[in-house]
Amino acid sequence: MSESFIYLDNNATTPLLPEVVDAMSTVMVLPYGNPSSPHSIGEGTRDIIETARGQVSNLINGNPDNLIFTSGGSEANNQAILSGLGVSGLRRIVTSSVEHSSIKKLCENLEGKGISVEFLPVDSSGLINLNYLEEKLKLHKAFVSIQWVNNETGVIQPISEIAAICKKYHCLFHTDAAQALGKLEIDISSLDPDYLTITAHKINGPQGVGALYAKDIEKLTAIVVSGTEEFGKRGGTENLLGIVGFGKACEIRKRDYNECIDKMGKYRDAFEGFILTALPELKTNGSRTQRVCNTTNIQFPGVDGRAMMSQLDNNDVICSQTSACVSQIPEPSFVLMAMGLDAEDAFSSLRFSFSSLNTIDEAKDAAEKVIEVYNKVKSLFRY
Ligand SMILES: Cc1ncc(COP(=O)(O)O)c(C=O)c1O
């Protein structure tokens, strides 16, 4: 691949911001101390972690005492569900059919262990039906886990309404906000979820670090068991560098939020508009109105998206078909299938996701290449 590729796979992961790299590099050469050590060097490290906890909590308007660091969004999702079931004694989960695999797989595993799981359907826009959710919760209490923003389509679930329904029926509510962080305003104090998941690497922070917010920290149980780290709720010496990078990325996103949203929206809209004008036979997958600013998922009828993705890669445009963690599985996207697409249409779809580090020229150049590659692949590989 050339040096000058156009990276449009930011829902999979984002490049580190230079300021994040600087913050992490500074900590790398500080005197070495384990944050749990009782000496002064350990205390210094603890302070660094607490600063980051404050920066991350600030971006979601939450209390730092209710937030623990984890190895990422997947771990936080697993811990939220296992904690919620453990503390409440609930044997029932209500979730959606378009969740990230860290929730989908865990729920499938739990189903095999006698927990009843309801995977709520979504409509062709990718949205769950609130009346249907309410009907389900009216019948029996459950632990509810519904994502805020879908990683493949960018579709935004009506999360405040979902939280209110859960509250009305005294159900514990978790939301996976991994793709919402930094793209939507997250205000813990008004949403008031029982648990909320976030991760660093979707907002130009490092991979391998995330966080779980819990309304009542006592309603968290450790799934990595060790000492008193992270209020005793997540054992193991903290990932200091990752946490510092996460904190810095959150501080920057809070500061530059409007500018970032504005840029991502402009780039995505220019890219999508250019392609759909040139190729009116194409369609986008998922709601166009209830959608975050950086994502478009486009169906290229009659071509295999995998062939197109590989041709685009050869032309220095990087995109994806499904989420990175399931993309090695040769199956059509379960998210798109849940929205009613057949396997052929799902395979013909591609996800393009922008970050504020892209440029308008990249958006236009990439759109031109997509049009060119589509026309070429269509003539070569028509199913
Ligand atoms: C919606 C969603 N949830 C959870 C995750 C998992 O986060 P992580 O990669 O930090 O484990 C991702 C990342 O792809 C995601 O998009």
**pLDDT single digits (tens) 59-73:** 999 999 999 999 999
Domains 6-15+257-381 and 18-252 share a fold: no
Q: Is the pLDDT of residue 379 over 90?
A: no
Instruction: Work out the average pLDDT over 177-194.
Output: 98
Nearest residue (CA) to ligand 1, atom 14: 12
Residue 167, CA distances (Å) to 81, 144, 173, 262 in order: 17, 11, 8, 33
Ligand 1 site-directed mutation target among 13, 71, 74, most atoms within 8 Å of CB: 74
Split at pLDDT 50, 70, 90, the class of 32 is: confident
> How many angstroms does the Cα of residue 279 sit away from the middle of ligand 1?
32
Whether residue 166 lies in the annotated active site: no
**DSSP H helix total and E strand total for the chain:** 12, 12
Domain boundaries, the chain: 6-15+257-381, 18-252
The ligand 1 atom at the shortest distance from the C-alpha of residue 75 is: 11
Q: CB of 179 closer than 6 A to ligand 1?
A: yes
Q: Is the pLDDT of residue 327 over 70?
A: no
Residue 277, CA distances (Å) to 230, 238, 283, 376, 382 in order: 51, 49, 11, 18, 22
Architecture of domain 6-15+257-381: Alpha-Beta Complex (3.90)
> How many angstroms does the Cα of residue 323 sit away from the middle of ligand 1?
9
Nearest residue (CA) to ligand 1, atom 7: 73
Give me the pLDDT at residue 382, please: 55
Residue 269, CA distances (Å) to 89, 122, 353 in order: 46, 25, 11
Nearest residue (CA) to ligand 1, atom 4: 73
The CATH number of the structural domain formed by 18-252 is: 3.40.640.10
Residue 321, CA distances (Å) to 82, 178, 283 in order: 30, 18, 15
Q: CB of 73 closer than 6 A to ligand 1?
A: yes
> How many angstroms does the Cα of residue 44 sit away from the middle of ligand 1?
31
Split at pLDDT 50, 70, 90, the class of 342 is: very high
3 state SS for 73-139: HHHHHHHHHHHHHHHHCCCEEEEECCCCHHHHHHHHHHHCCCCEEEEECECCCCCECHHHHHHHHHH
The b-or-e profile of 142-170 (16+ CB within 10 A means b, else e) is bbbbbbbbbbbbbbbbbbeebbebbeebe
291 DSSP 8-state letter? B
What pTM, to 2 d.p., does this model score? 0.96
- The two beta strands, 283-284 and 295-299, are antiparallel
Split at pLDDT 50, 70, 90, the class of 37 is: very high
Q: Is the pLDDT of residue 123 over 80?
A: yes
**Regarding predicted confidence, which is higher, 31 or 24?**
24
Phi first, then psi: what are they for 214, rounded to 5°? -130, 130
Q: CB of 95 closer than 6 A to ligand 1?
A: no
Taking the C-alpha atoms of residue 200 and residue 180, their distance in angstroms, rounded to an integer, is 12
> How many angstroms does the Cα of residue 259 sit away from the middle of ligand 1?
24
Taking the C-alpha atoms of residue 254 and residue 111, their distance in angstroms, rounded to an integer, is 39
Q: CB of 210 closer than 6 A to ligand 1?
A: yes
Instruction: Work out the average pLDDT over 231-250.
Output: 97
> Is residue 204 within 8 Å of residue 14, measured between CB atoms?
yes
Tens digits of per-residue pLDDT, 99-113? 999 999 999 999 989
Q: CB of 102 closer than 6 A to ligand 1?
A: yes
Q: CB of 74 closer than 6 A to ligand 1?
A: yes
> How many angstroms does the Cα of residue 325 sit away from the middle of ligand 1?
9
Q: CB of 176 closer than 6 A to ligand 1?
A: yes
Catalytic residue among 171, 260, 319, 325: 325
278 exposed, middle or buried (CB, 10 Å; 0-12, 13-18, 19+)? Answer: middle
Taking the C-alpha atoms of residue 300 and residue 379, their distance in angstroms, rounded to an integer, is 13
Q: CB of 100 closer than 6 A to ligand 1?
A: yes
Q: Is the pLDDT of residue 192 over 90?
A: yes
> What is the Cα Rg of the chain in Å?
21
Give me the pLDDT at residue 316, please: 97
Phi first, then psi: what are they for 94, rounded to 5°? -115, 120
Taking the C-alpha atoms of residue 69 and residue 197, their distance in angstroms, rounded to an integer, is 10
> How many angstroms does the Cα of residue 73 sit away from the middle of ligand 1?
5
Supply the mean pLDDT for the chain: 95
The ligand 1 atom at the shortest distance from the C-alpha of residue 201 is: 10
